[in-house]
Chains A and B, each alone.
Chain A
Amino acid sequence: MSEFKQTFNSSLGKKLIMALTGLFLCTFLIVHLGGNLLLFKDDNGFGFNVYANFLTHFPPIEVIAWILYLAIAVHAIYALILTVKNRKARPVGYAVAAKSDASWSSKNMGLLGSILLVFIVIHMGDFWFKYKYTHEVAFKEYRTDLATDQTTVSDYTPVSADFNHSVSTENNVEIVRVKDLHARVAHTFGNIWYVLIYVIAMGALSFHLLHGFQSAFRTLGWVHRKYTPIVYGIGAWFFAVIIPIGFALMPLWYFFMHKG
């Protein structure tokens, strides 16, 4: 076995893979939340639809997206491998459940992660798959008068089935024709069950990251008297509070403010 193979097959090597993929997914959450804040813009989805179009048609982003899907898969598969190994390490359990004061989130990472994985499948099926691989998402046309900066919106039916998007300028009016993912979002978030699934999943995300973010730093061996409290603070307040609340506000906002 080569030395690198040996390293990544060791218990600590597998944990390293968990930590690195986990932290990569954390950085993705920042970008995902940042971009999706466009959903809160009252512009008939113009900004959001152009952003969604950019994400799916800019090659470097496409590459990163596939690395992202790979990271999710590796994180889940290694979690499964490690869990099976951990169960094998204690074939006979205790009659009295452990009463040590380890945090609830740290003891339930597998459950929280499974909820998140199911959510990711639902979430990507709703938006990513329908946007990229079906014709279910309709088109919108945004006409912006470059002189007055006024934008009007109308439905657009493409002539050819292969139509993706177009940007053109006629008589000082910019015409942008893109897939209307915004309408799909508004429609999905009008359904109370979807809203519930999203909010519950964001609760799971909060507890998963409450333990996961700081745990990843421990696995990498980055513990320091001066910096560890900062890592804890970022993990608890930014990743376990601000990020999940930011995401959860989107379905809630659309359900209560945007109905229909």
Chain B
Amino acid sequence: MSNGNMNLTLKVWRQKNAQAAGKFVTYKAENISPDMSFLEMLDVVNESLTHKGDEPINFDHDCREGICGMCSLYINGHPHGPKRGITTCQLHMRTFHDGETITIEPWRASAFPIVKDLAVDRSAFDRIQQAGGYVSVNTGGVPDGNAIPIPKVVADEAFNSATCIGCGACVAACKNASAMLFVSAKVTQLGLLPQGQPERYRRVQSMVAQMDEEGFGNCTNTGACEAECPKEIKLTNIARMNNDFLSAKLFRQEVLHEEQHGGA
């Protein structure tokens, strides 16, 4: 390969829909530039599949610059591939070597049913967000910016947690398919800031209840989620959520959102 391009073998999970049985299919990815992103490599493979009249490989993607949370893929035992702190769209083919076999699997969790091939339905995360991952704002005049002083350490911690893009890599990496890193990031980002205080204890109860409802597993503090998170969300968020949840349940008067609104 004089131009430095690579030939790879891909083992890709193919599955028609949620009900159908899936299987691994082996493809050749030929003449792949090391400067391509992983998704561009799949585009090239799909193009050749389309030319041959085969069904292209279905995978999720959108912004391709690491901020939308749409891309996924469990690559050689790692969500978003072997490099730390990046999404699959930011993963370049130079990470792999010529002749390598790459196994590509969808996120595996009962709460993330497979839509087709490598694409999974992550609307469970949306429902958890809708259960309480917001701040209610009343109408009225716009408050002055920076009118509420917030210590820098607190703001930093909240903003770090707010970088969660909801891609689901934490669930994919967790041996228990637990969504605790995601939920705790959302709980933390709002719960640490003054604007999030009024709903803090109702929020954590509602979001955890929805998380349980969706059938995610239970956290065993292994820290695989933290290691694989493309946004490097910290495990300490989970402890903070536990603290908020237990104080809400054992010591506070607040009840779940639904009960507050008469079971709506």
CA distance in complex: A90, B120 (Å) = 13
Whether B218 contacts A11 by the Cβ 8 Å rule is yes
Whether B177 contacts A218 by the Cβ 8 Å rule is no
CB distance from B222 to the nearest CB of A (A): 4
CA distance in complex: A250, B228 (Å) = 43
Q: Which residues of A contact B221 (CB under 8 A)?
A: 106, 211, 214-215, 218-219
Mark A79-94 against chain B: 1 for CB-CB distance below 8 A, else 0: 0001001101111111
Say whether A107 faces chain B, with CB atoms less than 8 Å apart. yes
- How many residues does chain B have at the interface if contact means C-beta atoms less than 8 Å apart? 50
Pick from A82, A90, A102, A218 the residue with the most CB of B within 10 Å: A90
From A13-21, A164-172, A252-260, give the one contacting chain B.
A13-21
Give the size range of A's interface with the partner.
Answer: 35 or more
Q: Which residue of B lies closest to A219 (CB)?
A: B242
Q: Which residues of A contact B246 (CB under 8 A)?
A: 12, 16, 220-221
Say whether A192 faces chain B, with CB atoms less than 8 Å apart. no
Q: Which residues of A contact B212 (CB under 8 A)?
A: 10-11
Q: Assuming the A-B contacts A88-B215, A223-B236, are A102 and B108 also in contact, with contact meaning beta carbons closer than 8 angstroms in the complex? A: no
Say whether A226 faces chain B, with CB atoms less than 8 Å apart. no
Whether B227 contacts A10 by the Cβ 8 Å rule is no
Q: Which residue of B lies closest to A110 (CB)?
A: B220
Main secondary structure on B side of the interface with A: mixed
Whether A90 contacts B228 by the Cβ 8 Å rule is no
Whether B105 contacts A96 by the Cβ 8 Å rule is yes
Say whether B110 faces chain A, with CB atoms less than 8 Å apart. yes
CB distance from B23 to the nearest CB of A (A): 10
Q: Which residues of A contact B218 (CB under 8 A)?
A: 11, 14-15, 82, 85-86
Which residues, 200 to 250 on A, are CB-close (under 8 Å) to B? 211, 214-215, 217-223
Q: Assuming the A-B contacts A82-B218, A89-B217, A211-B221, are A96 and B211 also in contact, with contact meaning beta carbons closer than 8 angstroms in the complex? A: no
CA distance in complex: A7, B78 (Å) = 34
Q: Which of B110, B175, B176 contacts A91 (CB 8 A)?
A: B110
Whether A107 contacts B208 by the Cβ 8 Å rule is no
Pick from B11, B178, B217 the residue with the most CB of A within 10 Å: B217
Whether B242 contacts A101 by the Cβ 8 Å rule is no
Whether A15 contacts B78 by the Cβ 8 Å rule is no
Whether B76 contacts A12 by the Cβ 8 Å rule is no
Say whether A159 faces chain B, with CB atoms less than 8 Å apart. no
Q: Which of A11, A15, A91, A102 contacts B222 (CB 8 A)?
A: A102
Q: Assuming the A-B contacts A100-B78, A215-B220, A215-B221, are A92 and B108 also in contact, with contact meaning beta carbons closer than 8 angstroms in the complex? A: yes
Say whether B181 faces chain A, with CB atoms less than 8 Å apart. no
Q: Which residue of A lies closest to B223 (CB)?
A: A102
CA distance in complex: A3, B249 (Å) = 8
Q: Which residue of B lies closest to A109 (CB)?
A: B220
Whether B176 contacts A98 by the Cβ 8 Å rule is no
CB distance from A176 to the nearest CB of B (A): 48
Whether A86 contacts B217 by the Cβ 8 Å rule is yes
Q: Which residues of A contact B208 (CB under 8 A)?
A: 10-12
Which residues, 220 to 264 on B, are CB-close (under 8 Å) to A? 220-224, 227-228, 235-236, 238-247, 249-250, 255
Extra 7 A-B pairs, beta carbons < 8 Å, given A98-B173, A223-B243: A3-B249, A15-B218, A85-B218, A90-B110, A90-B176, A106-B223, A219-B219
Shortest beta-carbon contacts, A-B, top 5? A221-B243, A89-B217, A223-B239, A86-B176, A221-B242
